[in-house]
Structure 1
Amino acid sequence: MVKSKEVAEMSPLQTAIKAEQLSLLFKAMASSSFAATINAAILTFMLWDVIRHDYLIGWLTVLLLATFGRLLLSHFYQRDQAKVENSHRWGSYFSAGTILAGICWGSASLLLFASQSVVHQVFLAFVVGGMGAGAITSLSPQKLPILTFLSLTVLPLSLRFVIEATPMAYAMGFMLFLFWIILVISSLRIHHNFTQNISLRLESQRQRDELEKSENRFRELFENNRCVELIIDPDDGAIIAANRAAEAFYGYSLDQLLTMTISDINMLSHAEVAAEMQQAKSEGRNHFIFQHRLASGEERDVEVYSGPLHWNGKKVLYSIIHDITARVKAEDQLRKLSQAIEQAGESIVITDREGIIEYVNPAFSLITGHAAEDVMGESPRLLKSGRQSLAFYEELWQTILSGEVWKRTLIERRKDGSLYPASMSIAPIFNEEHEITHFVGIQQDMSDHQELENKFRQAQKMEAIGTLVGGIAHDFNNMLGGMTGNLYLAKKRMGDFPDVVHRLEVVESLSYRASDMIKQLLMFARKGVLEMRPFGLTSFIKEVSKINEVSIPENITFKTHFCQEELVVNGDATQLHQALINLLNNARDAVAKVAEPQVSLSLDEFEADAAFKHLYPSMSGTLFARLTVSDNGCGINKEEQEHIFEPFYTSKEVGTGTGLGLAMVYGAIESHGGIVDVESSPGEGSSFYIYLPLLEEKQSVTSPEDSDAIISGRGETILVVDDNADIRKSTKEVLESIGYKVLEASDGLEAVEIFAASHRSIACVLMDVVMPRLGGVKAVERMCTIDPDVNVIFTTGYDKEDALKGEMPSADYLILSKPCHIEMLSRVIREQLDG
């Protein structure tokens, strides 16, 4: 049991050493048995005459039997093939045989010791010592057999010499004992060498076996690995080895790959490839992203892990290659998606299922004013404005928790407390099991959109007013034209009655003011023709200020401030004058009930900053003329400010306002490419700002003032064509009163007939544009076939743009709007006739 336990506790190497030692012992047994038999025979022969024959024969027989037994033991050991698991059993057998042999040779000291012959004693010592010395080489692989054999063989003879008690015997006994010590020491040293050699040989064999197994495993892994693997010489980039996956991936056979270099498949230049290989060889880097070209010419993105490896005594690069083309495309798509979200103009918020914010894009911070780090882990409730009901949000949650997309418009609150309209879309995000894990909300700031809608509604209202005004303008202007003509004739005939003439002039003035009102309405609705030209706004406003200052009551303090530089704008002076009058009139009315009323008018140059451009993105340019009309009156509340530029909207008492003043201002300034802004608070007064784009040139264009004198005719014949009989009659009488002859026609057809008969005597045709049967433009075309040099002056009570659009044969014809001042009519006719 003890032996079995000891064997069980031995290491595999110790067990293998024991087995190898035993194998050496059994291998040496044949030669040692042969030597023992020869020495025994020689010893028997030499002692035959001095030792009893029965002793010799008995000893020799026992020795030969023991030797034969050991040979049989060796035979059976070889047949058993020296199994390691049987080493202990065979070791026991060998030890028993060795002990038997040692006893046999040790017994020779007692049975074969020739007391009467010193020579034979020495010879016996020589043979026994020789057997001991010879046993060292055959029995030293194990310690116990050699020590046992030497002790059983040499020590009995040494003791026998001592028993003889003679000086010679003492010397021989002592020498044998010393010889035994030397043999023991030598056997132990030889045993150590045997053991060490066996251990080294077994360890070397084990290492070779392990290396072979490792190489076989590596070869198996290398060949059958599904990853692409290459062994590369870093000195020249040659491919030393490649596995089956490399053949399948690159499309080359193994023989082809082994004739190639890594530069043949890497898209980098040779120098770049060499530099990367040196990085891998020096272990500066082990991870690379490359593009490799396949045998088909296709280029694939690859991820390479490469490092140094000793291969057949040379330092090479072992590279594992993964095809990441799909991953690169997916990452590129993910990067584009991420950039799209980061750079989107709409606010994007991602929350978990409970509505806790996990991500916001930069647009969220831009729109709401909340920094991203401040809202992480918070709820979107921080944007609630209180303008939506609890049911509104309950409907939201029910929708998105059911897996549907929720879309609505709502009012949100920024960090600074200001409110803004928003269009919101919230959609659930599902995982692979179609479970809702997150929500994504996309919000668009609708402030600009709402502003555009407001402008669109304003434009619609203006268009409606324009349509209404355009419809009545013709008849209204025709009636005014008839009135002004008859008033002129009445004034002429009542020259001896100054009071009557004054009354007629008042009526005439009111008629022209009514005409101007129609023009203002047309301009407001953008249906009139603006006479745009560059002029000095600074000088103009100064003159207008002086003229209108007299209309402001003396109890109102009127202050002005104008810049020194002449600001040149492109515009219609009449329209701007009317706009300024409307603003000053409103300011005058606003301070009517103030204890210390004040009205101010200022003009300065304004350079647009970033805030101004953001507020008015449609405005181009940087420099503007800013006209400001301020008062300290009653002011305007926020609700009314949203409607003050709408047509017919007024906050004044019934009978004190038409609701068209600010609407006309708005339309006039917008038609000049400018903007109107207002700042006002109830009880603190109001300030209206007009911004007009400045021209780069500093010289203004002025037109000569119209002359008030009437230019008489010289007896020329004028054909007056108009479908309104009253206008024809009054126009005829007016023209005849200033020295012209007049022919009349009620429409275009009649005019053409008269012109065909009398064109040689007709110096000028005063032609209405819109008439029944044949209009003025078509009639003139027919007249031109009769006389190409016919002089024509068109007149119209319609909006010029709408009435004449696409009908004028050329831009050379003059067009007069009804009613027309007699002075202007006389001057225009004279200029036309004098050509």
Structure 2
Amino acid sequence: MDTLHERLSRVTPAVVPVVFGIFAFSQSIEHAHGGEPLMGLLLSVFPLLSIGVGFVFAGRFVHRSSLSTRMVWKFDAWLIAGALVGGAIASLFLVYQDTHGGTLIHANYIVVNSVAGGAAIASLLGYTTLMRTVKARELATTTDILDAVRELNRQIATIDDRETLEQAVCETLAAADPYVFAWIGTVEENEIVPTASAGVDDGYLDSITITVSGGDTSEGPTGTAARTHESAVMQNVQEDTSFGPWRDAASERGYQSSIAVPLAVQGTLYGVLSIYADRPDAFGGRERAVLEEVGVTLANSIAASETRHRESKLLNSMDDVVLVYAVDTGRILDANQTTFDRLGVEATALVGRRLDSFVEAVEADDWFRENAPTEQSVFESSFCTDDGETVPVEVSAVPIRYEGERAMLALARDITTRRKQFRSLRTYMEAIEHAGHAIYITDADGVVEYVNPAFEEQTGYDGSDIIGETPAVLNSGHYSDEFYTELWETIAGGDKWHYEGMIDLRKDGTEFYIDQTIAPIVIDDEVVQYVAIHRDITALKENEKRLEERNEQLELLNQIVRHDIRNDMQIVLGMSQLLEERVDDEDCRDMLDSITEKSDHVVELTQTVGELMTALLGDEPDGSSAISVKNFLEAEVEALAHGYPDADVRIEGEIPSTRVCANEMLESVFRNVLNNAVQHNRSDDPEVVVQVDEDEDHLVVHIEDNGPGIPEIQRSEVFGKGERGLESSGTGLGLYLVQSLVEHYGGNVDVRPNDPTGSIFEIRLRKGPCSTEEAV
């Protein structure tokens, strides 16, 4: 709208005829009172006419924005010229009157009315001339604008790219008279940033800053339009105070007026179109309306383009094939990028092809229906790629109109993975169905949803009996509420729960033992189901019970062997030693020696058997068991040397204090090997040498003797139960015990020939603590 300053600039020249008419009318009244009232009233018609014309023109000049101040001054020039002509006519009339004598009309009337009449007539002529000029200029401008609008409509209809469209619009507007410059900008962080421009620029956009709000840089037409989403006009660069921040830059480039049109659709601002003209008052009401309509059309086109681009980007980013095909011909009308990628063809090569060129069974599948399709259809089909690969797909198709043609919009999803998953799921279900252990699945509240046949066989419950119930029907009553509370807290927290030896109750009321594992099924950090596996260990528990009873019996036997028999034999040995002092008969002494030897053998046997039973029945130490061989080995060497004074028993080198995986039964290992080295030795000078070395993982004990050695054929059997050496008086169990213990420690024992005679026993013990399985 026009500013108050613009309206006042029109009022000043428009008031001139009004003031002039009032003056003329006052003069006519005054002289009418002087004696000629009728003539005065008649002659006052001219000043009245002048006053009326002035008021009419004043109103039109104030409110008609198409008339500039310069045009109004031109109208005043016509008025003054008419007044001068009227004055000249009055002067001629007065001269004529003086020349011929007499006074027909009073001189004042002649002057006033001639001047006023001339002014009024000239005003009418001037107004008519100026209006014709204005109309002609408006017509030319309107013609240019309409031509520009037609071109803009063509561009908007044919150009899809926003950047190209905006540039084309600016170029078209800048080429239309009287426009000299046009640009489009978008709002970025409160500042309007140019995206396209055309016309007389000369660095104008680089030299200015326009904001949407805050400060003088937001008060111009562009900032106002961006802020209010309404068009804003600035009709005079030089006079409009709101254009101050940009006036100098605009004046240098000849900009005289400006309009800014928001490109907004339903509250969304896509930018602002700013146009500059090379004359003031260039944007009248009609032009403004036309340009606003251009802005609406351009904004709708940009919005539609943005929507299409978003949709295209969305479709092309999908992993699914999306294509449009004609119902009547089966031709491909359009497709997304995934379609081209999956089929291995270019877009130009696919569009226009028929469906049956890459679909295995078009007719057999549901790609076409009888008559016209009217609703969505879902079916499975297969694509054949250009590489010869067959891709199974699930198709969802709906009828649409595409560019006036009956078509189907189809979304095809690759179901290769789904089919593999289905096959895997079917395999898993078959495995569960045929599993030998009971398996059941519950929901998050513990309600049974599935049981396998093994569950039915194990518990006696049919699926129909248990599905919909809770596993509480299996409770035997042996466990407290706290037990089940702990169970639920464990699995509800996402952890697995395991219990071996749980007692459950069958449908017939009998109890059975199970090894139970319950695991939560977690999806998106939420427990949705539970799966439980029951392994029936009733037979195992019964075997364990029988073994415990057997072990108790063996333990009793061990006590008898190690204590009662051994104690009795110690008494026999003691008595035989007393008898040796009292028996002189040689035959009796030979029998007594035999009694003593057999008694020693029985004592040794009971000791070895006791140690073997201790190894087999003893409690397992914890996994941190590790001891040093030094003390055990030295003690046993010393005991052997004391028991066989005629033998040379010694340790060569230092014994490392390295700790190995073993327990206190290690002394039995050393004692049996050392005793074996002496008992089998028939040399005149028995010799036993002990050496110890180590590598990265093991400590190795070497026990060498100079006895007869072990024949190669017997070396693989020397550690068997009951195996005796040549002419041995041993038990036959000692080396079996050695091998059993060492292997249980995670080591091994071997025997090889010594040079020149004898044997070397090599005992390899693993360094470090034992695991529970390796310790006895």
Q: TM-score, normalised by structure 2?
A: 0.32
Larger Rg: 1
Bigger relative contact order, structure 1 or 2 (CA pairs below 8 A, ≥6 apart): 1
